[in-house]
A = this chain, B = another copy of it.
């Protein structure tokens, strides 16, 4: 009886890999370098060979393995084809299962890496026990992954869950990475928080520890924890923007839980204390019961979610 699955998370620098049992426990984790030469032609053979080596090491036969799940940085269709290629990897359009099956004949499923990470958080992370979830990644940008009835919502062009680009402020003068103005990402990402902080500090001369140090999402939330009044104002602004954005999301997909991850979420529970009240202020009452949780899998969310493509 098949008892194991592999989870593969292909990044621009390394490929993270994990061996899982069908209960969702990770039995082994390792990484291989992402070799991008010649249009990244070696990446998937390297993945397949690494899996073969791990199977030999663990004395697993093909019959022991249910399948291989893969998260990749780009839009992936239901057949595992990278429909727009993957610029970061040098890939043009290619079919991930086919490429892996040239080396080893085990069932393969593939999906977009951000969506796969969301699935991982639902399966074994901050969203465990739920099947309708929105993962919110607050990093350099604001990303999202939407899980409906336990399945990834991909959308027509793979842009399901791109919640960072919800238009949220008509008065914005600076341009977002997407070339529009006033996107949620301009306020709720790590760089967005820095922008909010600089604007607030420029407004007047009010004393703040932020005036004597480098400003980052981390220093802002550290200052909040130290009861710095200016930092608290900034956190309130951040919370208002994010709460309003997530309230809009809730009116659309009505999730059971929002799972907040990414670098900014390292601030911890205090972050949620600024987001939840704003969310509740703006959200449609029947959607108000949505829980808020922090992501717990960190950089492993991708391999967990990839395994979940097979095991869930």
Contact = CB atoms under 8 A, between A and B. Distances in A.
Nearest to A287: B159
A178 B250 CA distance: 15
A202 interface: no
Interface in A274-295: 282, 284-287, 289-290
A13 to B, nearest CB: 25
Contacts of A163: 251-252
B282 A180 contact: yes
A167 to B, nearest CB: 4
Contact of A252 (B178, B249, B285): B249
A284 B159 contact: yes
Contact of A286 (B157, B255, B290): B157
Interface residues of A, number: 42
Contacts of A256: 156
Contact of A247 (B155, B159, B167, B249): B167
A252 B159 CA distance: 8
A107 interface: no
Contacts of A41: none
A144 B244 CA distance: 19
A99 interface: no
Contacts of A180: 282, 284
A256 B285 CA distance: 28
A16 interface: no
Contacts of A244: 167
B162 A284 contact: yes
A183 B159 CA distance: 25
A158 interface: yes
A154 B149 CA distance: 9
A165 interface: yes
A243 B290 CA distance: 26
B254 A162 contact: yes
Contacts of A289: 156-157
A161 B286 CA distance: 12
B158 A284 contact: no
B146 A253 contact: yes
A256 B251 CA distance: 19
A22 to B, nearest CB: 25
Interface string A164-200: 1111000000000011100100000000000000000
A153 B157 CA distance: 18
Interface of A: 132, 144, 146, 148-149, 151, 153-167, 178-180, 183, 244, 247-249, 251-256, 282, 284-287, 289-290
Given A160-B253, A178-B284, 7 more contacts: A157-B287, A159-B251, A159-B254, A162-B251, A163-B252, A178-B285, A180-B284
